[in-house]
Amino acid sequence: MINVTLHYPVMGFTTEDSHMHVYTSDELCYTSKGQKFYKDLELIDSDGIVYVLIGSKLKGRASFSKCIQYLQPIQEFDITLDKRGQITLDELKNKILSRVSKHPKIFAPLYDGTPWKERIGGFDSFENLIRLFK
């Protein structure tokens, strides 16, 4: 369960890895069994609202249907987020470009031959830009 209403899809950034995480529903509350939840997760929703994770508490094993959905044992977390403000679409584009340029191998499967700056720059909504990385 999340303490705020997010407008999906949501993009997550953390210093714990180089990826950009995209959540299209409440899957944000679930991890593989034994996996720890991120400590410094920053989320940007489809309205450009920025949230930071201020707490996560293991609730227990997820429902049987969730485990079947992910084909593995899943654990559920209660998540507490704090609203930190608003980001512009251009600021999000720059944040994404910075991450892609620092870690090109991670994003190589999404590369279609169009320069990243041109491809990312062509989006006119948070939602469509975030979905590119799902």
Higher pLDDT, 36 or 119: 119
Q: Is the per-residue pLDDT at 8 higher than 90?
A: yes
pLDDT at 118 over 80: yes
Average pLDDT, the chain: 85
Which residues, in sequence order, are CB contacts of 61 under 8 Å at separation 6+?
33, 67, 73, 74, 75, 76
pTM metric for this prediction: 0.83
Tens of pLDDT, residues 28-77: 766 776 666 667 889 999 999 999 988 877 777 777 877 778 788 877 77
> Cβ atoms within 10 A of the Cβ of 75, count?
20
Nearest to 50 by CA among 18, 95, 16: 95
* Rounded percentage of the chain residues whose pLDDT exceeds 90: 37
